[in-house]
Amino acid sequence: MNRIVQGLLLILAAFVSIGEAAAAEYPARPVQLMVAFPAGGGTDVAARILAAIAEKHLGQSIVVVNKGGAGGQVGWTEMARQKPDGYYLGFINLPALNTIILDPDRKATFKEDAFIPVINQVLDPGIIWLKADSPYKTLKDLIEAARRTPNKISAGTTGILSDDHLAILMMEEAAPGAIFRIVHLEGGAPQATAILGGHLDVAFDNVGGVVRRIRSGEVRALAVLDTRRSPFLPDVPTMPELGFPTVISSSTRGIAVPRGTPDAIVKRLQDVFRKAMEDPEHVRKMEEAGLAQRIMVGEEYIKYYRDLHAKAAKYTEWARTRPHK
Amino acid sequence: MTRGWQAAIVVLLVLFGVFAYESLQLSLRDAIGPGAGFFPFWLSVLGAVLALLLLAQLKLGRAIVGTGELTFDRAGLRNVTLVLAGVIVATALLELVGFRLAMLLLLIYLLAGLGVRNWLAMAIVAGAGSFGVYHVFYDLLKVPLPVGIFGF
Amino acid sequence: MEGFQLLLSGFAGALTPANLAFAFIGCVLGTLIGVLPGLGPAAGTAILIPLTFKLDATGAIIMLAAIYYGAMYGGTITSVLINVPGEAASVITCLDGYEMARQGRAGTALGIAAIGSFVGGVFAAVALAVVALPLARFALSFGPPEFFCLMLLGMCLVTGLAGQSLVAALLMTVLGLLLSLVGLDPVRGAPRFTFGIPELYDGLGFVPVVMGLFGVAEILLVAEAPFRRLAETRLTGLWPSRDEWRRSSGAIWRGTVIGFLLGLIPGVGAVIPTFMAYIVEKRLSKHPEKFGTGVIEGVASPETANNAYANAAMVPLLVLGVPSSPTIAILMGAFIINGLTPGPFLFKERPDLVWTVIASFFTGNLILLILNLPLVGLWAKILKVPYQYLCAGTLLFCIVGAYSLKGTVFDVGVMLVFGVIGYFLRKLGMPLAPAVLALILGPFMEKSLRTSLELSAGDFSIFVTRPISATLLVCAALVIVVSTLRISTVKALKEAESK
């Protein structure tokens, strides 16, 4: 019996010392980068571009792993459970992550403090767009029409409690009296079909998904929901320019790690990914894909995350209690 | 022959009951139209009605039933439970011990359990099916299959 | 016809050695991906996109499109040989295709599938060239209410899938509908019947469920009684009999039309055309009760519809820039990565490219046929392997497939659960097809109903005031009336006979 116990203790000691050695020399093995959406989507494409470049700066391969489902909830649930040792990173999409946490029906098993935001890659501003031959030529036309005939103008989103949905509510708040008939589609493609087919009056989406259609001339944009004009659409006015400085909404994608990850590792990751994002090849590929890069790192990103969470809380609550649904 | 069908109908009735109960926890109507619980509830009711109808048809001997029977013979049952047990255990352990080990053991277990005695063929198939498949997926297709706590 | 002229110039481009080679490689890779479990055309295509970075835009797209419709055929191979639907669209082929394989006619089944796919694909490509633009505009008028009524029509046709017992079929339909409602509800986006498991928020997952109901259940049945289940594959000649040719040709034409028309509507997935084609074929047949026992039309019809759909679905993509399914969305991504924007602009800006791609559908489909017909005999030989290896291999296949869908063991678990369920249902003789159809249509129907009501602010009259949806509703009502008449006539005849 003694021999066996000794043997087991020896094995245990071996494992422990391996663990310690690993912590001392980060990264000692490949790192997993989780994308909470299926392969081929916007987040996935950007993640793979970034991973390929960041690998060189990190010194270890970065394996992109897709864990899609429930609008990201499956992947983020998985990440919240991982060890904070710097070997499991994940992309977080805001405000999708926020609304999942805030919606009590979703029963998320994690709170907003379950993750440490490390660095942001893409910021895709919201956009209001419609068919080129629509009678509403400016945002003012649209608002006035929505005021004259409340709950008649159909406004489409790409999902319940998506950033588009929250943006419509922000719009209604900033222009009292204007009430839209909110229609939820499942993603950009059905929304585009509905607009092109004349079933929807106006759509709220993000620049990245619509810019090509605008360039081709079949659709028009009324406004971009950002503080600065989009480099892809320099002719489209911003919300502050149009007199609605509070209606700012975007979808962002950045990297986060589980809570408890040591500062040293977080700093290392920030360093590595920032260099990768500033790499001209990354910039070029992002532009080709129509994705607007906006690097936010450290405190800036953490503040953005917290502010957005508070903002989302307000509109998520309102979405649930809105009488017209 | 109808006993199997009767058992199946009872199971279905229980299932419909569970669905109906759960749907009542959700709202049946909302501001615009049917709520989240509307369709599941009425579908469960419809399902229960159909199940009882089928039961009645069986009792009256009038149903034009399919050519199915729930008969088992010993050898067949043994095989089925063997396969099922193996596959369930392998799946449960898939992420714990890793794909390669789990599939290697599963394949050997299945082939041996179903009567294969050609050890060489068994070894080759088991090896190809576990390690071979893993590497095809990981190296060629870049799809990672589970790696267990042993690191492989 | 201007379209025709442009098509001819497109051929000039498509027939260059380089582009032919790309189409060839695409067909090969596509078939392999289709055969591989679970991956499905979507993930497979996504994986191969980086390959295309090194090619010029035209070549890349030709190759990706070839991969796409090649994968459609690959999925058929596994459906016929081992009753495992490689991807959703191949499910219905399992019904008659596998039965044919059990009777030693796997080669014939695969052969007619290849021929049907070719005819369907080529016809769709021709129609695409000729009527693409006007039809695409028409298809746009299908909004959520039209969608709902279309699905409703599909559901009404389910009685066409009923075997011996109508009540049993309806019961399975209801069960399928209930199971399809598991997941986030379309009203508030809140989980329904998920018991707190986030993996269920997107629903049970069509592919794991059918892999279980068909594939795993079959393995259990084979393990139980290996010599009753598997026939001696004497390969009774690979060629169909004359009578079968006759029946198949009708099935092929009908399948082509159905697949093509449904492919034009943006948002219709690949499964629906195959089911519709099968049901229509069964209803029009002189011996509907034989469907499911291995009739060749049961394979010819859905397979043709499959490929006609795949080629027709390019229309919403090329003309409107709207992808009809996740796989096509990935194709669209490939366009974009290569600097092209699918849409009317593309037709004006790069007509040479667009028409070369369209012409490549012809060459691609031909290559697919030439590639696969000779291999059919080879595939069929796989069935000669001893049943133990077949069982073990298929199980491995299914496990890898289910796992690789989303990278989670949960899907494997779902597949196993439905494998057991399928085993019992098959033993009892309960019809599976109605449940599968309901599983696919259920979520579409509920969501389009909900979206329609959001559009109309709760007013149900939206379904009858819009011309297309009203027409579809009338058709649905007609179908029900005709079915009821049929059933009561059959019953009356039977009773008269027994007197």
| Closest among C280, C285, C256 to C153, alpha carbons compared | C280
Lowest-confidence pick of C294-303, C378-387, C411-420 = C378-387
B124 part of a folded domain: yes
- Which of these ranges, A215-219, C232-236, C307-311, has the smallest mean pLDDT? C232-236
Q: What is the mean pLDDT of chain B?
A: 84
* Minimal-distance CA residue of chain B relative to A323: B31
Final residue of a structural domain among B12, B27, B60:
B60
What average pLDDT does the segment C398-421 reach? 89
In angstroms, what separates the C-alpha of A39 from chain C's closest C-alpha? Answer: 7
Chain B nearest C-alpha distance from A128 (Å): 25
Domain count, chain B: 2
- In whole angstroms, give the CA distance from residue B20 to residue B137: 43
**Residues B53 and B84 both lie in one domain:** no
The bridge status of strand A293-297 relative to strand A115-131 is antiparallel
In a domain, residue B146? The reply is no
pLDDT exceeds cutoff 70 at C233: no
Return all residues near B135 (Cβ < 8 A) that are at least 6 apart. none
CA gyration radius for chain A? Answer: 22
Nearest to C410 by CA among C422, C418, C402: C402
Residues facing residue A258 across a β-bridge: A115
Tokens of A220: 């028009």
Cβ of B51 within 8 Å of Cβ of C416? The answer is no
Mark yes or no for CB contact A39/C42 under 8 Å: yes
Q: Are strands A62-66 and C191-192 parallel, antiparallel or unpaired?
A: unpaired
Distance between CA atoms of residues B26 and C183, nearest Å: 13
A323 touches chain B (CB under 8 A): yes
Rounded to the nearest angstrom, the gap between the alpha carbon of residue C282 and the centroid of all alpha carbons in its chain is 17
Mean pLDDT of B7-27: 89
Quick check: C195 contacting A, CB < 8 Å? no
Q: Is residue B98 part of a domain?
A: yes
Using alpha carbons, list the distances in angstroms from residue A267 to A34, A92, A270, A297, C407: 19, 18, 5, 10, 30
CB C151 within 8 A of CB C145: no
Rounded Cα distance, B129 and B122, in Å: 10
Task: Report yes or no on B53 lying in a domain.
Answer: yes
Instruction: Write out pLDDT tens, residues A168-185.
Output: 999 999 999 999 999 999
Give the range of the structural domain holding residue B24, as residue numbers without chain letter.
2-60
Query: pLDDT tens across A92-136, in order?
Result: 999 999 999 998 888 888 999 999 999 999 999 999 999 999 999
What is the average pLDDT score of chain C? Answer: 83
Shared-domain flag, residues B80 and B135: yes
Find out whether A72 and A101 touch, Cβ atoms under 8 Å.
no
Determine whether the interchain pair C333/A45 forms a contact, defined as Cβ–Cβ distance below 8 Å.
Answer: yes
Q: Using an 8 Å CB-CB cutoff, list chain A residues near B31.
A: 323-325
A105, A191, A193: which to substitute to probe chain C, counting the most C Cβ within 10 Å?
A193
Write out the two tokens for C102.
């059990």
Chains A, C: CB contacts under 8 A, how many?
A: 138
State the Cα–Cα distance between residues A33 and A254, nearest whole angstrom. 11
- Residue B56 sits in the same domain as residue B94: no
Rounded to the nearest 10 degrees, the angle between the axes of helix C106-140 and helix C242-264 is 30
Option in C396, C409, C429 nearest B67 (CB): C429
Cα R_g (chain B), whole angstroms: 24
In C, minimum Cα distance to A197 occurs at: C140
Q: Are B43 and C173 in contact (CB under 8 A)?
A: no
Predicted model pTM = 0.84
Q: Using a CB-CB distance cutoff of 8 angstroms, which residues of chain A are in contact with residue C143?
A: 193-194, 197-199
- B55 with B100, same domain: the answer is no
How many Cβ atoms from other residues are within 10 Å of residue A93's Cβ?
24
The nearest CA of chain B is from the CA of C47 a distance in Å of 7
CA distance A324 to chain B (A): 7
The whole-number average pLDDT for the span B91-120 is 88
β-pairing, A115-131 with A250-258?
A: antiparallel
Which partners does chain C have (≥3 C-beta pairs < 8 Å)? A, B
Distance from the Cα of B65 to chain C's closest Cα (Å) equals 6
The CB density around residue B11, as the number of other CB atoms within 10 Å, is: 13
C344-365: per-residue pLDDT in tens? 777 777 778 888 888 888 888 8
Mark whether B52 and B90 lie in a shared domain: no
Chain C neighbors of A47, CB-CB under 8 A:
none
Touching subunits of A (3+ CB pairs, under 8 Å) are B, C
**Residue A9: pLDDT over 90:** no
Q: How far apart are CA A52 and CA C197, in angstroms?
A: 33
A258 upstream amide cis, omega within 30 of 0:
no
**What is the number of other CB atoms lying within 10 angstroms of the CB of residue A286?**
19
- Closest-CA distance of chain A to residue C409, Å: 11
Q: Give residue C237's pLDDT.
A: 58
Chain A hits for B144, Cβ within 8 Å: 63, 65
For B50, which of C171, C429, C431 is closest by C-beta distance? C171
Question: CA angle, corner C72, sides to C88 and C421, nearest 5?
Answer: 25
Could you read off the pLDDT of C421-478 as tens digits, one per residue?
A: 999 888 888 888 889 889 988 888 998 999 999 998 888 888 999 999 999 999 888 8
The span from the CA of C87 to the CA of C309, in Å, is 15
Q: Which of A67, A81, A196 to mutate to test the interface with C (most CBs of C within 10 A)?
A: A196
Q: In terms of DSSP bridges, do strands A219-225 and A115-131 run parallel, antiparallel, or are they unpaired?
A: antiparallel
Kindly state the tokens that stand for A85: 């040792």
C347 → chain A, closest CA residue: A216
User: Measured between CA atoms, how close is C259 to chain A, in angstroms?
Assistant: 20
Contacts of A292 (CB under 8 A, 6+ apart): A122, A123, A124, A125, A207, A208, A230, A231, A232, A286
Q: How many CB pairs under 8 A join B and C?
A: 178
Are C68 and C311 in contact by the 8 Å Cβ rule? The answer is no
- Check whether A281 has a pLDDT greater than 60: yes
Q: Which residue has the higher pLDDT, C243 or A185?
A: A185
Asked if the peptide bond before residue A27 counts as cis, ω within 30 degrees of 0, the response is yes
DSSP structure class, residue A219: E
Structure tokens at A177: 């009296």
Interchain pair B31, A65: CB under 8 A: no
- Rounded to a whole number, what is the distance in Å from the CA of A63 to chain B's nearest CA? 9
Tell me the pLDDT of chain A averaged across its residues.
Answer: 88
Q: Which residue has the higher pLDDT, A248 or C69?
A: A248
Residue C13 tokens, joined: 């481009």
Contact B144 A324 (CB under 8 A): no
Taking an 8 Å cut-off on Cβ atoms, the answer to whether A323 and B31 are in contact is yes
Interchain proximity A189–C267, CB inside 8 Å: yes
Within-domain flag for B85: yes
DSSP assignment string, C416-474: HHHHHHHHHHHHHT--SHHHHHHHHHHHHHHHHHHHHHHHHTT-TTHHHHSHHHHHHHH
Phi-psi region of C362 (alpha: psi -120 to 50; beta: other; left: phi over 0): alpha
Residue in A149, A168, A199 to test binding to C, most C beta-carbons within 10 Å: A199
Asked if residue A22 has pLDDT above 50, the reply is no
| Closest chain B CA to residue A324 | B31
**pLDDT for residue A126:** 94
In-domain check, residue B8: yes
Question: Which run of H or E residues covers position C125?
Answer: helix C106-140
In this structure, is residue B35 part of a structural domain?
Answer: yes
- Residue C352: strand pairing partners: none
CA distance A64 to chain B (A): 9
CA closest to C406 among chain B residues: B143
Q: How many CA atoms, within 13 angstroms, populate the side-chain half-sphere of residue C283?
A: 19
Residue C334 and residue C343: Cα distance in Å, rounded? 14
Q: Is C155 helix (H, G, I), strand (E, B) or coil?
A: helix
The phi and psi torsions of A268 (rounded to 5 degrees) equal: -60, -45
Cα atoms found within 13 Å of the Cα of residue A76, Cβ hemisphere only: 29
Residues 37-66 on A with a CB inside 8 Å of B are 63, 65
> Taking the CB of residue C2, how many other CB atoms lie within 10 A of it?
7
Is the pLDDT at B108 greater than 80? The verdict is yes
Among C67, C328, C341, which would you mutate to test the A interface (most chain A Cβ atoms within 10 Å of its Cβ)? C341
The reported pLDDT for the residue numbered C277 is 93
Instruction: Tell me, yes or no, if C408 comes closer than 8 A to chain A by beta carbon.
Output: yes
Strand partners, A93: A253
Assess whether pLDDT exceeds 90 at residue C413.
Answer: yes
Give pLDDT, residue A21.
47
Q: Using the 8-state DSSP alphabet, how is residue C95 labeled?
A: I
Rounded-to-integer distance, Cα C100 and Cα C116, Å? 16
Model confidence over B30-85: pLDDT tens digits? Answer: 777 788 888 899 999 999 999 998 888 887 776 555 556 667 778 888 889 989 99
Nearest Cβ partner for A65 among B30, B31, B144: B144
Q: How far apart are CA C115 and CA C119, in angstroms?
A: 6
Q: Which residues of B touch C47 (CB under 8 A)?
A: 141-143
* Of C289, C207, A243, C386, nearest in space to B117 by CA: C386
Residue B35 and residue B82 in one domain? no
Half-sphere exposure of C237 (CA within 13 A, CB side): 4
Look at residue C1 in the predicted model and tell me its pLDDT.
Answer: 52
Q: Which amino acid is at B72?
A: F
